[in-house]
Structure 1
Amino acid sequence: MDFREILLIASKGQGVNHVPKRYSLAVGPPKKDPKVKGVQSAAVQAFLRRKEEELRRKGL
């Protein structure tokens, strides 16, 4: 057997079992976003600073 014969045999076998791949259109379940527990302290501190400055300005 030479290389050409092997290729012919392989190509014949490939056509018989060749089934086109199909892509699923079904949508999977939604991914859950991790929830942040609590409040971010940096944001709260910045908010409190702004409020204190506003109160100082109004008081003067």
Structure 2
Amino acid sequence: MKDKAPKAKPDEDSSQQPRQQHTPSAKEQNIIETEDRIKERENLSEKSDDKSRAGKRPAP
């Protein structure tokens, strides 16, 4: 997938400047939080679906 991106020069260039830790931008942070919420919602809906199914169908 990264093949299309322009290839970065070897690390020699970046070693000349101090490396900054990557802090996600507001937009990236928003995307990350949204993905987390979607995962949580999927997990919750799976659990609640199981409960509602169990409630609707009595065991034979």
| TM-score of the alignment, normalized to the shorter chain, above 0.5 | no
Higher helix share: 2
**TM-score between both structures, scaled by the size of structure 2:** 0.30
Query: Structure 1 length normalisation: TM-score?
Result: 0.30
